[in-house]
Chain A
Amino acid sequence: MAVMTYREALNLALREEMRRDPDVFVIGEEVGLYEGAYKVTQGLLKEFGPKRIVDTPIAESGFTGVGIGAAMVGLRPVVEMMTFNFALLALDQIVNSAAKLNYMSGGQYNVPIVIRGPGGPAHQLAAQHSQSMEVYFYHVPGLKVVRPSTPMDAKGLLKSAIRDDNPVIFIESETLYNVKGEVSEDPDFVIPLGEAAVRREGTDVTVIAYMGMMYRAMEAAEELAKDGISVEIVDPRTLQPLDTETIIGSVRKTHRAVVVEAGAGFAGMGSEIAAEITEEAFDDLDAPVARVTGAQAPMPYARNLERLKTPTKEKIADAIRQVCYANGSR
């Protein structure tokens, strides 16, 4: 174990996988000479050379297509999106090619590609750069979607994603790159895709949250503990496939659930999880599942408005009290 930043954990995962498997290569804008817009690929060009660390023009659809083609003939590309918002330009490649070629070729091709980069709201990045991009991808059959909240998960899950034989969308966060935590230095350490983590054990309510929202939920849980409300926090880590077993098991224990997501609520991850809980654990519920989501609006640039749009610790705590019938009820 070593303490390192989320950024360093990603870098280490890339480095270890590239050493382990000569088929792994990185492609994207500014990943080589500039060492990554967020320095995730720092030092990789020096160690692995320009054949395996490929700088591209500003052309997401193009280099994503190059990656998919390379994956179809046996390589294992890691495509970096400078921010995940730019993946919108490559949406056709990802949705119509990467996700579907295995199915449409009757299993003759598989596409072992990882597309990674930061997404979600950060600090005043405004409407076009603050989107929770996972919603565009987890709906598509054939794509796996990962959102790692901690340095340990960043490393363990990125390694699993690279080793996976099918396309994985791996969305990081600008706000988490400097978060420090314990990370395994074992090159064989991986975290399987599709396994949630219980971040905090509790008995009264289950909060399902990932990335920055998970940290805010933890703060809310600390505060509510003083009021005697014991909050369990489940971090799904992988959104597709979703570990419903852990989520449902927790709700069966606590009888109440709150789902938090940074993006707008309509047809979001919270809707999906709420539906799963209702289908699987209806008889165990003592209150309707509550959702805390971003407002249905583009992200404003102004700091005060940004805060209004985004779920805060206070909003999460209010929702928890509500499902616990511990507040004025609505």
Chain B
Amino acid sequence: MAVTKVVMPKLSEQMESGKIIKWLKKEGDRVQSGDILAEVETDKADVEMEAFGSGVLRKIVVPQGEKAPVGTLIGVIADENEDINALVSQAGGPAPATAAAKPATADRPAASAAKPAMADRPAAVPPQPKSEDHAARQPAPSRGPDSPGGARVQEAAAQQPAPGTPQPVPSGADGGRVKASPLARKIAAQSGVDLKLIHGSGPGGRIVRRDVEAAATSPAATAAPAAAPALRPVAPSVTGPEYEDVALSAMRATIAKRMPLSKAPVPHFYVTSEVAMDRAWELREELNGLEGQPKISVNDLIIRACALTLLHHPGVNASFQGESIRVYHRVHMGIAVALEEGLITPVLRDVHAKSLVQIAVEARDLAERARQRKLRAQELSGATFSISNLGMFDVRDFSAIINPPEGAILAVGSVRTVPVVTDQGLGVGRRMALTLSCDHRVMDGAMGARFLQDVKRLLEAPLRLLV
């Protein structure tokens, strides 16, 4: 009786497909609910996938090394003598005729994790109110967790979320009025997507959020800049092909998709300040000279300074919510970590309540696990403010793009030894530039400047970072 469909889980908000790195159980193995079934590579991290039902892993549908869209059947757990042929053949077979009627669930968390009990029910086939003509032109984005039969069709759809050259057929197809959810309209307006050019996957062809988000990365529907292919060192040569197109890694694709959704709709402004780091530098050297103490980095000092300052400047620790501004009373700090294939921003939670040492230990742990791609999904979301530090690359200063829905991000340059004017004349000092990118909908220049001034004060008189 108990059949558990194992489907590709949705492990992050942006995840649309995942790759099976490794099956940790083989066909025929006994599986208990909660056992680790496989390792899955997502756009952000490698994540262990749990079984949500018990029985025998009867069938592996998607083998090691292959990708599958979120919600697709990738395996079957069932009792030994359970007949699973129908289920398995359905997964590999052609999409049922009802596929077009099923809404895509590309960005819906529903299309996630193995589904016990409810998954056994036959997929409901809802009435299709659209004209046949319209239904036929729909891109059939069948990806409902209830319709594993659509798996193969879905894969194609996943690689091409919106058709490259969409027919300019108005959604809804009733006299040109576009049917879209209010939220979809709002996001479309913010990201410059033309609703007339996209198809709705909701009931009656309604355009919903996921449709707009998919279209936002499609060049046909927006003027969003195409993602630059990753740079590769190429030996100087005058022969051979002139260029190559490098496939986007999952992470780069996510960045390419997310950043225009920030830079375009969020009105950024920037405030830069220079901080005298002499005392902070000395303090850090002194701390790191102590035996048995974890090493403190300049970034740890900045994290601590920002966390303390944000408590006094809640307006900067805030998020634009359309009709209101959400001011956070706790500080969850996103810390940008550069990786080979892109960057990732793990979140240090409740950092305002953490000591410098705690920050140092936890930030290092997060960064290390980010590099090993061992972060848990919940460690990648929920930041209220972020810091991006390019100090190690001898960068004087730079400005960062806000990671919505946060209201600000701090870009940190290198600590440089420079000539400075002192009371005694010309001297040598350590200076560091901080640039705060602010969402003008949330705060104004003076607010950002005051925050930065207080961060600067803390760093220039750094003993307060220790208490």
Taking a contact as CB atoms under 8 Å apart, the answer to whether A287 and B322 are in contact is no
Taking a contact as CB atoms under 8 Å apart, the answer to whether B146 and A328 are in contact is yes
In the complex, which residues of chain B have a beta carbon less than 8 angstroms from the beta carbon of A280? 323
Interface assignment of A283: CB less than 8 Å from any CB of chain B: yes
In the complex, which residues of chain B have a beta carbon less than 8 angstroms from the beta carbon of A329? 102-103, 126, 202-203
Closest to B126 in A: A328
Taking a contact as CB atoms under 8 Å apart, the answer to whether A326 and B123 are in contact is no
In the complex, which residues of chain A have a beta carbon less than 8 angstroms from the beta carbon of B105? 325-326
Q: Mark contacts of B206-224 with chain A using CB atoms, 8 A cut-off: 1 yes-contact digit, 0 otherwise.
A: 0011100000000000000
In the complex, which residues of chain B have a beta carbon less than 8 angstroms from the beta carbon of A249? 324, 326
Taking a contact as CB atoms under 8 Å apart, the answer to whether A330 and B323 are in contact is no
In the complex, which residues of chain A have a beta carbon less than 8 angstroms from the beta carbon of B58? none
In the complex, which residues of chain B have a beta carbon less than 8 angstroms from the beta carbon of A255? 183, 209
Taking a contact as CB atoms under 8 Å apart, the answer to whether B109 and A286 are in contact is no
Q: In the docked arrangement, what's the CA distance between A282 and B181, Å?
A: 9
Q: Mark contacts of A198-226 with chain B using CB atoms, 8 A cut-off: 1 yes-contact digit, 0 otherwise.
A: 00000110000000000000000001101
Interface assignment of B385: CB less than 8 Å from any CB of chain A: no
Interface assignment of B201: CB less than 8 Å from any CB of chain A: yes
Q: In the docked arrangement, what's the CA distance between A284 and B186, Å?
A: 8
Say yes or no: A226-B181 contact (C-beta < 8 A), given A287-B208, A328-B123.
Answer: no
In the complex, which residues of chain A have a beta carbon less than 8 angstroms from the beta carbon of B75? none
Taking a contact as CB atoms under 8 Å apart, the answer to whether A226 and B145 are in contact is no
Q: In the docked arrangement, what's the CA distance between A228 and B10, Å?
A: 7
Classify the interface of chain A: helix, strand, loop or mixed. loop
Say yes or no: A285-B144 contact (C-beta < 8 A), given A227-B115, A228-B10, A321-B110.
Answer: no
Q: In the docked arrangement, what's the CA distance between A317 and B117, Å?
A: 13
Please pick, from A229, A285, A286, the residue contacting B110 in the complex, using a CB distance under 8 A.
A229
Closest to B119 in A: A227
Q: How far apart are A213's CB and chain B's nearest CB, in angstroms?
A: 20
Please pick, from A204, A252, A286, A321, the residue contacting B181 in the complex, using a CB distance under 8 A.
A286
In the complex, which residues of chain A have a beta carbon less than 8 angstroms from the beta carbon of B146? 327-328
In the complex, which residues of chain B have a beta carbon less than 8 angstroms from the beta carbon of A324? 108-110
Kindly identify, within residues 178 to 204 of chain A, every residue whose CB is under 8 Å from any CB belonging to chain B: 203-204
Taking a contact as CB atoms under 8 Å apart, the answer to whether B208 and A325 are in contact is yes
Interface assignment of A230: CB less than 8 Å from any CB of chain B: yes
Kindly identify, within residues 273 to 330 of chain A, every residue whose CB is under 8 Å from any CB belonging to chain B: 280-287, 317, 321, 324-330
Taking a contact as CB atoms under 8 Å apart, the answer to whether A327 and B111 are in contact is no
Residue tally, chain B, CB below 8 Å to A: 43
Kindly identify, within residues 94 to 133 of chain B, every residue whose CB is under 8 Å from any CB belonging to chain A: 101-103, 105, 108-118, 123-127
Taking a contact as CB atoms under 8 Å apart, the answer to whether A285 and B181 are in contact is yes
In the complex, which residues of chain B have a beta carbon less than 8 angstroms from the beta carbon of A327? 110, 124, 144, 146
Taking a contact as CB atoms under 8 Å apart, the answer to whether B113 and A284 are in contact is no
Please pick, from A227, A229, A283, A317, the residue contacting B185 in the complex, using a CB distance under 8 A.
A283
Taking a contact as CB atoms under 8 Å apart, the answer to whether A284 and B109 are in contact is no
Kindly identify, within residues 310 to 355 of chain B, every residue whose CB is under 8 Å from any CB belonging to chain A: 321-324, 326
Most buried by B among A203, A223, A228, A249: A228
Kindly identify, within residues 132 to 183 of chain B, every residue whose CB is under 8 Å from any CB belonging to chain A: 144-146, 181-183
Residue tally, chain A, CB below 8 Å to B: 29
Please pick, from B109, B117, B210, the residue contacting A228 in the complex, using a CB distance under 8 A.
B109
Say yes or no: A283-B183 contact (C-beta < 8 A), given A227-B118, A327-B144, A327-B146.
Answer: yes
Closest to A317 in B: B118
Kindly identify, within residues 253 to 309 of chain B, every residue whose CB is under 8 Å from any CB belonging to chain A: none
Taking a contact as CB atoms under 8 Å apart, the answer to whether A227 and B181 are in contact is no
Closest to A278 in B: B182
Q: How far apart are B102's CB and chain A's nearest CB, in angstroms?
A: 7
Please pick, from B125, B145, B183, the residue contacting A227 in the complex, using a CB distance under 8 A.
B145
Interface assignment of B9: CB less than 8 Å from any CB of chain A: yes
In the complex, which residues of chain B have a beta carbon less than 8 angstroms from the beta carbon of A204? 108-110
Q: Mark contacts of B189-204 with chain A using CB atoms, 8 A cut-off: 1 yes-contact digit, 0 otherwise.
A: 0000000000001110
Q: In the docked arrangement, what's the CA distance between A234 and B146, Å?
A: 28
Say yes or no: A223-B118 contact (C-beta < 8 A), given A283-B186, A285-B183, A321-B110.
Answer: yes
Q: How far apart are A326's CB and chain B's nearest CB, in angstroms?
A: 3
Taking a contact as CB atoms under 8 Å apart, the answer to whether B109 and A282 are in contact is no
Q: In the docked arrangement, what's the CA distance between A326 and B110, Å?
A: 6
Q: How far apart are A108's CB and chain B's nearest CB, in angstroms?
A: 40
Say yes or no: A283-B322 contact (C-beta < 8 A), given A325-B108, A328-B125, A329-B126.
Answer: yes
In the complex, which residues of chain A have a beta carbon less than 8 angstroms from the beta carbon of B125? 328
Closest to B180 in A: A286
Please pick, from A230, A283, A284, A326, the residue contacting B145 in the complex, using a CB distance under 8 A.
A326
Say yes or no: A284-B322 contact (C-beta < 8 A), given A223-B118, A227-B145, A325-B108.
Answer: yes
Q: In the docked arrangement, what's the CA distance between A326 and B112, Å?
A: 10
Taking a contact as CB atoms under 8 Å apart, the answer to whether B323 and A228 are in contact is no
Q: In the docked arrangement, what's the CA distance between A286 and B110, Å?
A: 15
In the complex, which residues of chain A have a beta carbon less than 8 angstroms from the beta carbon of B114? 226
Closest to B112 in A: A228
Q: In the docked arrangement, what's the CA distance between A110 and B322, Å?
A: 41
Q: In the docked arrangement, what's the CA distance between A270 and B459, Å?
A: 53
In the complex, which residues of chain B have a beta carbon less than 8 angstroms from the beta carbon of A203? 109
Most buried by A among B9, B110, B116, B203: B110
Closest to A314 in B: B118
Interface assignment of B52: CB less than 8 Å from any CB of chain A: yes
Taking a contact as CB atoms under 8 Å apart, the answer to whether B101 and A286 are in contact is no
Q: Mark contacts of A53-89 with chain B using CB atoms, 8 A cut-off: 1 yes-contact digit, 0 otherwise.
A: 0000000000000000000000000000000000000
Q: In the docked arrangement, what's the CA distance between A231 and B146, Å?
A: 20
Taking a contact as CB atoms under 8 Å apart, the answer to whether B203 and A330 are in contact is yes
Interface assignment of B443: CB less than 8 Å from any CB of chain A: no
Kindly identify, within residues 18 to 36 of chain A, every residue whose CB is under 8 Å from any CB belonging to chain B: none
Interface assignment of B400: CB less than 8 Å from any CB of chain A: no
Interface assignment of B184: CB less than 8 Å from any CB of chain A: yes
Taking a contact as CB atoms under 8 Å apart, the answer to whether B118 and A286 are in contact is no
Most buried by A among B102, B126, B181: B181
Taking a contact as CB atoms under 8 Å apart, the answer to whether A284 and B182 are in contact is yes
In the complex, which residues of chain B have a beta carbon less than 8 angstroms from the beta carbon of A317? 118
Closest to B104 in A: A325
Q: In the docked arrangement, what's the CA distance between A328 and B118, Å?
A: 13
Taking a contact as CB atoms under 8 Å apart, the answer to whether B9 and A228 are in contact is yes
Say yes or no: A229-B109 contact (C-beta < 8 A), given A285-B182, A328-B126.
Answer: yes
Pull 20 A–B residue pairs with CB atoms less than 8 Å apart, ordered by A. Answer: A203-B109, A223-B117, A223-B118, A224-B110, A226-B52, A228-B110, A252-B323, A255-B183, A281-B323, A283-B183, A286-B208, A324-B109, A325-B201, A325-B202, A325-B203, A326-B105, A327-B110, A328-B101, A328-B146, A329-B103
Q: A317-B118, A325-B202, A329-B102 are in contact. List 9 more A-B contacts (CB 8 A).
A: A204-B108, A223-B117, A283-B182, A283-B185, A285-B182, A326-B111, A328-B102, A329-B126, A330-B126
- Going nearest first, the 9 A-B pairs with the smallest beta carbon separation are A228-B112, A326-B110, A328-B124, A329-B203, A328-B126, A228-B109, A286-B183, A325-B103, A286-B181
Residues of B within 8 A of A (CB): 9-10, 52, 101-103, 105, 108-118, 123-127, 144-146, 181-186, 201-203, 208-210, 321-324, 326
